[in-house]
Amino acid sequence: MKIYNTLTRKKEEFIPIEPGVVKMYVCGPTVYNFFHIGNARTFIIFDTIRKYLEYKGYDVKFVQNFTDIDDKMIRRANEEGITVKELGDRFIKEYYRDADNLNIERATSNPRATEFIDEIIKFVQDLIDRGYAYEVDGDVYFSTKKFKEYGKLSGQNMEELQAGARIRVDERKQDPMDFAVWKSAKPGEPAWDCPWGKGRPGWHIECSCMSQKLLGETIDIHGGGMDLVFPHHENEIAQSEARTGKPFSNYWMHSAYLNVNNKKMSKSLNNFLTAREALEKYDADVIRFFMLQAHYRNQLNFSGELLDAAKASVERLYNAIGNLESLLDEVSRKELNDKDKIFVQKLEEYKQKYIEKMDDDFNTADAISVIFDMVRDINSSVDVESSKELVETSLNMIRELGKPLGILQKTTKGSLEEEIEKLIEERQKARKEKNWALADKIRDDLKERGIVLEDTPQGVRWKKI
């Protein structure tokens, strides 16, 4: 399996440190607000990578943090008149609600920065002791010049970085590129006791610290959105490798942006749609399909039309699932005949193609094309003449290949029942409002689909004829 490594700027064969195990850390959200579908793209991409690694048989230790202390958290908590902790608690709950609804599997661990303060202080002290960090009036800065490889992830040397940087001149820093690993307390801000007075951690240090504590000194994969390459991940590398003298992560993966009119979707540009709003209109399969139809390293433009197109594509796939589910009740022959056996072989070939695409740096775009080719073939080759085993094998194969993408796992049977219940409710409402025409239309439409309604003293019942 090959993974594109931002650090080396090439695709490399993936070799985990421990055979069969993948240690993976992905930078998570700052929990001061609902997350938008730009953030969701990154979460869905790394969830898919994790699911695919699991599909390949790896035991994936997946850590994604919650940044629950920073300037934005403090500002928002003040605006709302609540504590930073209360704000964090609330939006962590909201995160889980939306992430669960997007079929994003819960991480092995979701550490909160504020739960690791003691560990972070130890980390900062180690950096000072080793000569990589210095304290000025309660603030602690990382000395970028001391870390000779600073710039290796973003591919810039110190001179280029300094020339390109629009950094506020801060007299207290030894070099403009130095960054805060610890910030002294300002009035009204949450603060913790530390050897340098009172203060709170900088943003970058939390990831270095929690990754090391939960996954060890060197991990297999570190991920996040493209915007995190510099300075966040560059700084994480500097801190972690300065402390341990070992590589922090063997593979660095970055997902490209979800854009609106070719501009990154972001809170600051106010061009965002929250995941919650998107989920009101589209279900998780559609949103995931939309995100995964592009390669994760290619930018993707968001628009309502593209989501509608994704919806139509997902419906086509579910129609095939629906057909197969109905065929299960209709076919009479049980075992495979020779013709069926040839088709089972073909299904295996589609699976191998799909694996080839996914093994090539998680090419979900091509993997989805393989699923479409396969479904087209199933639609024209599997019918009432097929054996039950062939119908089952076809259905299972669609589900198997959809699983790492987090799509195509639903049954159309349940949804048919739900749909009918909903139509019955609508009919009852129409009758109450004496809208007999609508009530009759709903009944007739259902009848056409082979569903008859009976009015009983217990309410409306339906049956299939």
Residues interacting with Zn ion, by CB under 5 A?
27, 207
Q: Which is nearer to ligand AMP, 28 or 424 (CB)?
A: 28
Tell me how far apart the alpha carbons of residues 349 and 453 are, in angstroms, rounded to a whole number: 45
Q: Which of 41, 200, 353, 357 binds ligand AMP (CB under 6 A)?
A: 41
Tell me how far apart the alpha carbons of residues 435 and 168 are, in angstroms, rounded to a whole number: 68
Is residue 274 involved in binding ligand AMP (CB under 6 A)? no
Is residue 113 involved in binding ligand AMP (CB under 6 A)? no
Is residue 265 involved in binding ligand AMP (CB under 6 A)? yes
183 binds, among Zn ion, ligand AMP, none (CB under 5 to 8 A by kind): none
Q: Which is nearer to ligand AMP, 181 or 275 (CB)?
A: 275
Scanning residues 204 to 263, which ones bind ligand AMP (CB under 6 A)? 224-225, 227-228, 255, 257-258
Nearest distance from residue 207's CB to Zn ion, in Å? 3
30 binds, among ligand AMP, Zn ion, none (CB under 5 to 8 A by kind): ligand AMP
Q: Which is nearer to Zn ion, 27 or 215 (CB)?
A: 27
Nearest distance from residue 428's CB to ligand AMP, in Å? 44
Binding mask 312-331 for ligand AMP (x = CB under 6 A): --------------------
Q: Which is nearer to ligand AMP, 259 or 363 (CB)?
A: 259
Q: Which is nearer to ligand AMP, 269 or 328 (CB)?
A: 269
Q: Which is nearer to ligand AMP, 32 or 196 (CB)?
A: 32
Is residue 42 involved in binding ligand AMP (CB under 6 A)? yes
Whole-Å CA distances, 422 to 179, 401, 427: 57, 31, 9
231 binds, among ligand AMP, Zn ion, none (CB under 5 to 8 A by kind): none
* Contact (CB, 8 A) for 56 and 22: no
Flag whether 207 is marked binding. Answer: yes
| Ramachandran angles phi, psi of 198, nearest 5° | -125, 145
- Which residue of the chain is nearest ligand AMP when measured via CB? 225
* Contact (CB, 8 A) for 182 and 139: yes
Q: Which is nearer to ligand AMP, 51 or 173 (CB)?
A: 51
Nearest distance from residue 299's CB to ligand AMP, in Å? 8
Nearest distance from residue 398's CB to Zn ion, in Å? 36
Q: Which of 29, 231, 402, 406 binds ligand AMP (CB under 6 A)?
A: 29
Query: What are 404's two structure tokens?
Result: 């790492």
Q: Which of 5, 30, 144, 323 binds ligand AMP (CB under 6 A)?
A: 30
The answer to whether the peptide bond before residue 29 is cis (omega within 30 degrees of 0) is no
Flag whether 194 is marked binding. Answer: no
Q: In which residue are the tokens 């943003």 written?
A: 203
Tell me, rounded to whole angstroms, the distance of Cα 265 from its chain centroid.
16
Query: Position 200: which residue type?
Result: R
88 binds, among ligand AMP, Zn ion, none (CB under 5 to 8 A by kind): none
Nearest distance from residue 32's CB to ligand AMP, in Å? 8
Nearest distance from residue 73's CB to ligand AMP, in Å? 11
* Contact (CB, 8 A) for 265 and 271: yes
Is residue 3 involved in binding ligand AMP (CB under 6 A)? no
Nearest distance from residue 8's CB to Zn ion, in Å? 20
Strand partners, 274: 36
Tell me how far apart the alpha carbons of residues 202 and 192 are, in angstroms, rounded to a whole number: 13
404 binds, among ligand AMP, Zn ion, none (CB under 5 to 8 A by kind): none
Flag whether 204 is marked binding. Answer: no
Q: Which is nearer to Zn ion, 207 or 439 (CB)?
A: 207
207 binds, among ligand AMP, Zn ion, none (CB under 5 to 8 A by kind): Zn ion
Question: From the annotation, which residues make up the binding site for Zn(2+)?
Answer: 27, 207, 232, 236
Binding residues for ATP: 267
Residues forming contacts to ligand AMP in the complex (CB under 6 A) are: 27, 29-30, 38-39, 41-42, 224-225, 227-228, 255, 257-258, 264-266
